[in-house]
């Protein structure tokens, strides 16, 4: 069946990809997927995954390849101070801020070949298709390969001026600090402030990415119109009880931090599910002290992460969770405390870009749906600087950050064509 369906697609593709009734071209699907395929060679490991972590030799070699592709697309490449590779084609109208397409090519250790990469390859292909088709934009067009998305988004965050100096000394996912890594790519971390943008410096920003959940894949939908990148809050929750002998301490004399942690974790789910919506909460890490089978834990520390597009909702639900947890702790003769250690505000996408993406999908006769991004992306770094938009394409089984990450050539091509039409629409809209 699959083979027959593929044959059907090949036979039908001239129809499916015929340019709609306007001047806009469609991308070269073969070329796009061939360049994406070539990218796999930079850091492919024995597991079939990618070890192209930020600031590695593989990362640098891949950027050299991308730089040559940019030239073919009439994008003038330059390395900025944060190690971002920026390819730029000037526009027809002088003085306009650029329309920017961004994504990344660095992977987690033993990651996949699609997360981030699809967006970069599609961005360059869109620029090349526009160039070769003789389509000139009013705005300059920039395609940016952000550095180190996976290890801290410091490439894109340098545009927001939010990379603290002390971060440069932090270890990256490879063998270098962030500062040394930027230098390795040709950046100048001591001049990071030169990257900082203000509203107006970028006309509009769009990013194509694989969806890291399985919603599009499961529903068989081609295009996700991203409503925003969810906000994230993370806390360490500490239960203080009393460590005691597991044999000699009767059940009614215990101050069992593990029991309280268990009751609270179950209660978190109850509260999260008590309101409609797509909010999620996760307890991913838990440590018990002293952590021996024959000692009642005197202390348990666990993480709580909550995500939603609506920060107020996160605040309201977390307040309920903490109030309930405090009661549970008191009932069990323990104390509980909550320390937030991470906050990433929600980044809502621009309404007109959402409309452009949706219309592009409609024009191309592709199915689409509105959805939040549960994962973080470089786009969020630019939320206070420019109107932002994101386009999702399916990822098989929602897998990401693993060698088995996969998006089909057809899905990638569809996404690139939506990106092209969205960019053209942004060029018209954001003057």
Q: Which residues bind a second copy (CB under 8 A)?
A: 211-215, 230, 232, 234, 244-251, 253, 256, 258-259, 261-263, 265-266, 269, 272-273, 278-286, 288, 290-297, 303-305, 307, 342, 373-376, 398, 400-401
Secondary structure letter of residue 277 according to DSSP: S
Q: How far is the CB of 256 from a second copy (least distance, A)?
A: 8
Q: How far is the CB of 254 from a second copy (least distance, A)?
A: 8
Q: How far is the CB of 286 from a second copy (least distance, A)?
A: 5
- Name which of 38 and 218 has its Cβ closer to a second copy: 218
The total of other beta-carbon atoms located within 10 Å of residue 372's CB is 22
CA distances from 59 to 39, 52, 289 (A): 10, 5, 41
Phi first, then psi: what are they for 190, rounded to 5°? -70, -10
- Name which of 204 and 215 has its Cβ closer to a second copy: 215
Angle in degrees, 0-180, between the axes of helices 117-132 and 409-429, rounded to the nearest 10? 60
- Tokens 């360059």 correspond to what residue? 124
Q: How far is the CB of 242 from a second copy (least distance, A)?
A: 10
Q: How far is the CB of 265 from a second copy (least distance, A)?
A: 4
DSSP strands (E only) in 126-222: 141-146, 204-210
- Name which of 5 and 341 has its Cβ closer to a second copy: 341
- Name which of 238 and 355 has its Cβ closer to a second copy: 238
- Tokens 């978190």 correspond to what residue? 268
- Name which of 134 and 250 has its Cβ closer to a second copy: 250
Q: How far is the CB of 263 from a second copy (least distance, A)?
A: 5
- Name which of 184 and 235 has its Cβ closer to a second copy: 235
Q: How far is the CB of 367 from a second copy (least distance, A)?
A: 19
- Name which of 281 and 353 has its Cβ closer to a second copy: 281
What is d(CA 389, CA 351) in angstroms, rounded to the nearest whole number? 8
Written as six digits, the tokens of 21 are 């009734």
Q: How far is the CB of 320 from a second copy (least distance, A)?
A: 16
How far out from the chain centre does Cα 225 lie? 14
**Torsion angle defined by CA atoms of residues 232, 238, 239 and 243, in that order, rounded to the nearest 10 degrees:** 150
Written as six digits, the tokens of 92 are 């027809």
What is d(CA 407, CA 113) in angstroms, rounded to the nearest whole number? 9
- Tokens 């639900």 correspond to what residue? 317
How far out from the chain centre does Cα 53 lie? 15
What is d(CA 86, CA 83) in angstroms, rounded to the nearest whole number? 9
- Name which of 85 and 117 has its Cβ closer to a second copy: 117
Phi first, then psi: what are they for 151, rounded to 5°? -105, 15
What is d(CA 190, CA 211) in angstroms, rounded to the nearest whole number? 35
């Amino acid at each position: 069946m699959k083979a027959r369906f593929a044959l059907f697609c090949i036979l039908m593709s001239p129809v499916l990809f015929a340019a709609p009734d306007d001047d806009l071209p469609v991308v070269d699907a073969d070329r796009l997927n061939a360049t994406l395929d070539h990218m796999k060679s930079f850091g492919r490991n024995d597991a079939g995954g990618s070890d192209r972590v930020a600031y590695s030799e593989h990362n640098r070699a891949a950027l050299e390849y991308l730089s040559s592709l940019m030239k073919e697309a009439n994008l003038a490449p330059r390395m900025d101070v944060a190690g971002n590779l920026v390819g730029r084609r000037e526009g027809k109208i002088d003085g306009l801020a650029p329309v920017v397409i961004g994504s990344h090519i660095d992977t987690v250790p033993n990651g996949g070949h699609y997360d981030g990469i699809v967006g970069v390859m599609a961005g360059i292909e869109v620029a090349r298709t526009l160039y070769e088709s003789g389509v000139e934009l009013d705005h300059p067009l920039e395609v940016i390969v952000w550095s180190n998305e996976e290890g801290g988004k410091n490439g894109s965050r340098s545009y927001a001026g939010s990379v603290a100096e002390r971060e440069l000394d932090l270890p990256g996912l490879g063998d270098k600090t962030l500062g040394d890594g930027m230098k390795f790519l040709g950046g100048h971390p001591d001049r990071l402030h030169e990257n900082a943008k203000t509203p107006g410096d970028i006309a509009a920003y769009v990013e194509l990415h694989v969806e890291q959940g399985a919603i599009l894949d499961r529903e068989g939908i081609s295009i996700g119109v991203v409503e925003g990148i969810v906000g994230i809050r993370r806390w360490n929750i500490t239960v203080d009880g009393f460590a005691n002998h597991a044999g000699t301490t009767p059940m009614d004399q215990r101050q069992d931090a593990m029991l309280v942690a268990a009751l609270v974790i179950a209660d978190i789910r109850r509260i999260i599910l008590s309101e409609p919506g797509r909010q999620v909460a996760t307890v991913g890490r838990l440590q018990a002290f002293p952590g021996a089978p024959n000692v009642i834990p005197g202390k348990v520390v666990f993480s709580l992460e909550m995500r939603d597009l609506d920060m107020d909702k996160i605040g309201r639900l977390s307040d309920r969770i903490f109030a309930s947890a405090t009661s549970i702790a008191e009932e069990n003769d323990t104390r509980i405390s909550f320390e937030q250690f991470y906050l990433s505000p929600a980044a809502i996408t621009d309404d007109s870009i959402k409309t452009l993406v949706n219309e592009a999908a409609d024009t191309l006769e592709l199915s689409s749906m509105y959805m939040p991004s549960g994962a973080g992306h470089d786009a969020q770094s630019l939320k206070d600087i420019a109107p932002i938009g994101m386009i999702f394409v399916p990822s098989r089984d929602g897998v990401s950050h693993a060698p088995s990450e996969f998006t089909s050539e057809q899905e990638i091509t569809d996404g690139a064509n939506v990106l092209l039409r969205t960019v053209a629409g942004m060029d018209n809209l954001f003057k």
